[in-house]
Chains A and B, each alone.
Chain A
Amino acid sequence: MTYLQYLHSIALATCCLLVSAAHAQQKVIGFAVPNLASSFWITSAFGVDEEAKRLGATVVKVNAGNDANSAQQIAQIQDLVQRKVDAIIVGATNGDAVKAAVEQAVKSGIPVIGLSSPPNSSLLAAVVSADHYDMGRMQARCLAKALAQKGSVAMMAGPSGQLWADQRALGFKETLSAEFPAMKVIAENRLGDNRNAALNVAEDWLQRFPEMTGVYAATDDMAAGVVSALKAGKAQGRVKVSASNFSPTSQQMLEDGDLVCTSIQQTVTQGRVAVRIALDAVNKKPIPQTKIALPALLVTQDNLREVDLGSVVAPAQYRP
């Protein structure tokens, strides 16, 4: 009887230990997202979810709803701190605006990892993003190839004051002037930052620059606007378009030959890497590299079928 009781208590204790160990293992990662209606953030949320599932962590996502909802995101980061999550991954609505909230989180002992648009703070455990400069450089090389290394190019450079847009444009321009001196940039527009606005700007360009043979587009959405303008202006084929980012839109444009190429970032992988670093930070493991810029990929009509899109797009049925 005593023996049995002894066994029983051992079993019970082991059980308790296992349960508490499992409980201790189950880390909770907060993920503050600026806008879960944008395909970019849905895709990175997929990467975060998948990697967390693989490593046995739980993800709590909060969505500010819009890049201009910083007050909302500040409150959400504070709520994650209240909830005592183990680490927070932040894609900032505005890097300056959420700085104070993020630093409060760090001071309360929660490591914060910046993802793609990082909070503007020096207290981050790490920043994971794409190599936007490289994306611009890839566009320059592929557009140069399509135009036989000469001609006049206009730039739909993307919204002003956004680091990603600035970096892509810089990579494009510097590569052109360094490697293809016979190509020149005839216009750079920062207002055409969505499909419709880009359409209007490109129509104006067609009127103003008959010599234009190429267009750089900072995103595939803007490229779609440019392509519509070219179709309407019967300039398709005469003017080549390159883009960045990957979506069903750019996939279709590549298949139809409307785009010469698109340089893309490994958005899913960014989410995965952020989770891995978050868990390393929680477990007090050293983080050898605190600024991680994942290399870009170039997709053209030829390699469209071969590129491994697992690191780039979320499956269509994924819901954040």
Chain B
Amino acid sequence: MNTPTFMRASLGNPLFVIAPVCLLLAVVLFSALQREFATTANLGNITGQVSLLLLLSAGQMVVMVNRGFDISVGAVAALSSTVAALAVNQFGTAGLAMGVLAGATLGLLNGVLVAYLGVQPIIATLGSLLAARALARLISDDGQAIVVQGNSILSALSESSWIGAPPLFWLSAGSLVGLGLVLYRTAMGRRLFMCGSNPHAAALIGVSVARSTCLAYLLCGTMAGLGGIALLSRSGAGLPTEGAGLELQSIAAALIGGTALAGGSGSLIATAAGAFFIQTIMTGLNLIGVAPFIAQILFGMLIIGSGFLEKLTHRFFNHHQGLQ
């Protein structure tokens, strides 16, 4: 029983279909329940809201492919929004690059800790989570928001609209395409999947597993840095204390997107669909106006449900593959 080649190319793995299907179902459901949901205005709304999570979950997916976790992404995004805000106030729009650089630096730090010093991912990234939070408070007068004064480019990124979505969304989507090119079109990227799938075998054929792991965290940190720019653009301020809970949302998005916890397999498109699914649920529940605690319970149940679904599908397909 062979999957046709074109399907393998487009879907790769049956698990990658779950997120797009869930997203579609959520859209249909909310459109039926609330007439303000299926509007172009709300499309612009959701695409703007999802930009941050999109960037973070894409980065998270890369480290998960590499059998890791990065729980520092929220704190790193907060730090990089703070750095970027300070730099923009000093040097103008070009200062945004400093924010991305801050993210990349922390990503590199995580990478070195995990890949070369052998620290467990959860320990390493917990350490940098705390360090990033403290650093952000340190440079911001104990956690005060850093307001960016009169930068019209930054606010236009999230307030104007290009083809139905704020420019910020297109920039995020563009970053994902860039990340996709690195992952799927370069030898470096392919090695990353290889090391996640079977580090021992990869090492045997001469691939540097440590370098791949380090690269994964560097990419994740860079995406978190870009996330900080999204945060800054949407709030108009650097937010040093922001972002608790974002790491879990990004992990959830990657999981719903079919990223294997065991490493070696992940799809950027499916992960993006996972992020969209989470944002759609949150926005949809807000539009319906259910009591806030009910919304949180529902959200928790959805995460558990998706984990369960992943397990079931995994078992089902493994079973079928075993029959081949």
Do A and B belong to a common assembly? yes
Chain A positions within 8 Å of B, measured between CB atoms, are 33, 36, 60-63, 65-72, 74-76, 78-84, 94-101, 104, 160-161, 319-320
> A69-B244, A69-B245, A161-B141 known; A83 and B286 CB under 8 Å?
yes
Distance (Å) between the CB of B242 and the closest chain A CB? 6
- Of all chain B residues, which has the CB nearest A108? B41
Report how many A-B pairs have Cβ atoms within 8 Å: 107
- Of all chain A residues, which has the CB nearest B286? A79
C-alpha spacing A198/B177, complex, angstroms: 50
Distance (Å) between the CB of A58 and the closest chain B CB? 8
The 10 A-B residue pairs whose C-beta atoms are closest, nearest first, are: A63-B292, A79-B286, A60-B289, A96-B145, A97-B235, A68-B241, A75-B49, A100-B236, A96-B237, A96-B147
Q: Is the CB of A68 within 8 A of B242?
A: yes
B143 at the A interface (CB under 8 A)? yes
Q: Is the CB of B36 within 8 A of A82?
A: yes
Q: Which residues of B contact A75 (CB under 8 A)?
A: 49, 279, 282-283, 286
C-alpha spacing A320/B282, complex, angstroms: 18
C-alpha spacing A283/B123, complex, angstroms: 56
Q: Which residues of B contact A61 (CB under 8 A)?
A: 291-292
- The contact of A71 among B36, B231, B283, by CB within 8 Å, is B231
- Of all chain B residues, which has the CB nearest A37? B293
Q: Is the CB of A100 within 8 A of B243?
A: no
Q: Is the CB of A97 within 8 A of B49?
A: no
- The contact of B142 among A62, A161, A319, by CB within 8 Å, is A161
- Of all chain B residues, which has the CB nearest A100? B236
- The contact of B292 among A78, A80, A81, A320, by CB within 8 Å, is A320
Q: Is the CB of A320 within 8 A of B293?
A: yes
Q: Is the CB of A74 within 8 A of B234?
A: yes
Chain B positions within 8 Å of A, measured between CB atoms, are 34, 36, 39, 41-42, 45, 48-49, 52, 141-145, 147, 155, 158-159, 231, 234-237, 239, 241-246, 279, 282-283, 286-287, 289, 291-293, 296
- The contact of A70 among B49, B142, B158, B235, by CB within 8 Å, is B235
Q: Which residues of A contact B296 (CB under 8 A)?
A: 63, 65
- The contact of A74 among B42, B235, B283, by CB within 8 Å, is B235
C-alpha spacing A95/B237, complex, angstroms: 10
Q: Which residues of B contact A161 (CB under 8 A)?
A: 141-144
Distance (Å) between the CB of A60 and the closest chain B CB? 4
Q: Is the CB of A78 within 8 A of B48?
A: yes
Distance (Å) between the CB of A209 and the closest chain B CB? 25
- The contact of A97 among B34, B237, B246, by CB within 8 Å, is B237
> A71-B235, A80-B286 known; A160 and B36 CB under 8 Å?
no
Q: Is the CB of B235 within 8 A of A100?
A: yes
Q: Is the CB of A71 within 8 A of B142?
A: no
Q: Which residues of B contact A160 (CB under 8 A)?
A: 142
The DSSP consensus for interface residues of chain A is mixed
Distance (Å) between the CB of B81 and the closest chain A CB? 10
C-alpha spacing A29/B107, complex, angstroms: 43
- What are 30 residue pairs bridging A and B, where the CB atoms are less than 8 Å apart in the complex? A33-B292, A36-B293, A60-B289, A63-B293, A63-B296, A66-B245, A67-B241, A68-B244, A70-B239, A71-B234, A71-B239, A75-B283, A79-B287, A80-B286, A82-B36, A82-B39, A82-B41, A82-B45, A83-B36, A84-B36, A94-B237, A96-B147, A97-B236, A97-B237, A97-B242, A99-B237, A100-B158, A100-B234, A319-B293, A320-B292
Q: Knowing that A82-B45, A82-B287, A100-B155 are A-B contacts, what are 12 other residue pairs whose CB atoms are under 8 Å apart, sorted by A's residue number? A: A36-B292, A36-B293, A69-B242, A70-B145, A71-B234, A78-B45, A83-B287, A83-B289, A94-B235, A100-B158, A161-B144, A320-B291
Q: Which residues of A contact B158 (CB under 8 A)?
A: 100
- The contact of B245 among A60, A65, A95, A101, by CB within 8 Å, is A65
Distance (Å) between the CB of A207 and the closest chain B CB? 26
Q: Is the CB of B292 within 8 A of A99?
A: no
> A94-B145, A96-B237, A97-B237 known; A68 and B243 CB under 8 Å?
yes
C-alpha spacing A100/B156, complex, angstroms: 11
Q: Is the CB of B236 within 8 A of A62?
A: no
Q: Which residues of B contact A65 (CB under 8 A)?
A: 245, 296
- Of all chain A residues, which has the CB nearest B232? A97
Q: Is the CB of A71 within 8 A of B237?
A: no
C-alpha spacing A65/B243, complex, angstroms: 12
Distance (Å) between the CB of B252 and the closest chain A CB? 15
- Of all chain A residues, which has the CB nearest B155? A100
- Of all chain B residues, which has the CB nearest A62? B286
Q: Which residues of B contact A68 (CB under 8 A)?
A: 239, 241-244
Q: Which residues of B contact A101 (CB under 8 A)?
A: 234-235
C-alpha spacing A47/B245, complex, angstroms: 29
Q: Which residues of B contact A79 (CB under 8 A)?
A: 45, 283, 286-287
C-alpha spacing A101/B246, complex, angstroms: 20
Most buried by A among B52, B234, B236, B286: B286
Distance (Å) between the CB of A69 and the closest chain B CB? 7
Distance (Å) between the CB of A88 and the closest chain B CB? 12
C-alpha spacing A320/B289, complex, angstroms: 13
C-alpha spacing A160/B140, complex, angstroms: 12
Q: Which residues of B contact A82 (CB under 8 A)?
A: 36, 39, 41-42, 45, 283, 287
- Of all chain B residues, which has the CB nearest A59? B289
Distance (Å) between the CB of A242 and the closest chain B CB? 26
Distance (Å) between the CB of B213 and the closest chain A CB? 29
Q: Which residues of A contact B49 (CB under 8 A)?
A: 75, 78
Distance (Å) between the CB of B146 and the closest chain A CB? 8
Q: Is the CB of B159 within 8 A of A100?
A: yes
Q: Which residues of A contact B293 (CB under 8 A)?
A: 36, 63, 319-320
Distance (Å) between the CB of B132 and the closest chain A CB? 13
Q: Is the CB of A104 within 8 A of B159?
A: yes
Q: Is the CB of B286 within 8 A of A76?
A: yes
